[in-house]
């Protein structure tokens, strides 16, 4: 199926659950609310014509700087191995209620990307039994890929500052390199 047919098929079956659909650069893209993710995902997996059996990746995006509502977005990329087509689900997650349901039971490979979403963006994954940090240390504070989490750097001991321990503080990078400041 090509992207338009996928969108048509999805619209005819679950039209009321979809917020918006688009075909950009030939990719089928569907916008969703977190509440309807489970139902749409189950349909995508079980429908024999669509048969999205392969989870490619889950990306989180924080749209704070672009002042877009809702603030967060979880982007799910699915392939079908035998039909050779793909779909992208963009699930907008509001800041007030930062939860998305898990898809771990449908695609077990989601276990790591979902933990990464929690680690990096602080979104709660509803139904994920192992919700803990993945890449950052357990005791880390904050969620690094949020846009309001500043880039920081730590002092490292060299021979010239061997007594650095008293100044072991994180410091802000002076300016973020933006084109309009050049």
Q: Is 178 in the site for other proteins (CB under 8 A)?
A: yes
The interface with other proteins within residues 19-58 (CB under 8 A) comprises 24-25, 27, 53-57
By CB under 8 A, the count of residues binding other proteins is 42
The interface with other proteins within residues 86-145 (CB under 8 A) comprises 86, 88, 107-109, 111-113, 133-137, 144-145
* Least distance between other proteins and beta carbon 90 (Å): 8
Rounded CA separation 42/52 (Å): 10
Three-state SS sequence of 99-155 = EEECCCCCCHHHHHHHHHHHHHHCCEEECCCCCCCCCCCCCCCCCCCCCCCCCEECC
Which is nearer to other proteins, 84 or 159 (by Cβ)?
84
CB 126 within 8 A of CB 102: yes
Which is nearer to other proteins, 12 or 181 (by Cβ)?
181
Cα–Cα–Cα angle for 126, 144, 161, rounded to 5 degrees: 150
Q: Residue 111: phi, psi to the nearest 5?
A: -60, -45
Which is nearer to other proteins, 12 or 175 (by Cβ)?
175
Which is nearer to other proteins, 48 or 137 (by Cβ)?
137
Tokens read off for 72: 């967060």
Q: Which residues bind other proteins (CB under 8 A)?
A: 24-25, 27, 53-57, 59-62, 65-66, 75, 77, 79, 81, 84, 86, 88, 107-109, 111-113, 133-137, 144-145, 147, 151, 173, 176-179, 182
């Amino acid at each position: 199926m090509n992207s338009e047919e996928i969108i048509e098929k999805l619209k005819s079956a679950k039209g009321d659950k979809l917020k918006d659909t688009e075909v950009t650069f030939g990719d089928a893209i569907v916008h969703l609310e977190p509440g309807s993710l489970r139902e749409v995902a189950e349909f995508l997996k079980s429908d024999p014509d669509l048969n999205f059996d392969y989870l490619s990746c889950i990306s989180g995006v924080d749209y704070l700087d672009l002042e877009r509502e809702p603030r967060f977005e979880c982007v799910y990329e699915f392939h079908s191995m035998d039909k050779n087509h793909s779909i992208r689900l963009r699930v907008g997650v509001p800041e007030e209620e930062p939860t998305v349901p898990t898809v771990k039971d449908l695609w077990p490979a989601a276990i790591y990307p979902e933990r990464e979403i929690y680690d990096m963006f602080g979104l709660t994954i509803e139904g994920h039994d192992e919700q803990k940090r993945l890449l950052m240390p357990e005791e880390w504070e904050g969620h690094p890929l949020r846009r309001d989490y500043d880039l920081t750097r730590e002092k490292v001991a060299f021979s010239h500052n061997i007594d650095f321990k008293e100044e072991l503080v994180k410091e802000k990078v002076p300016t973020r390199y933006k084109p309009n400041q050049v």
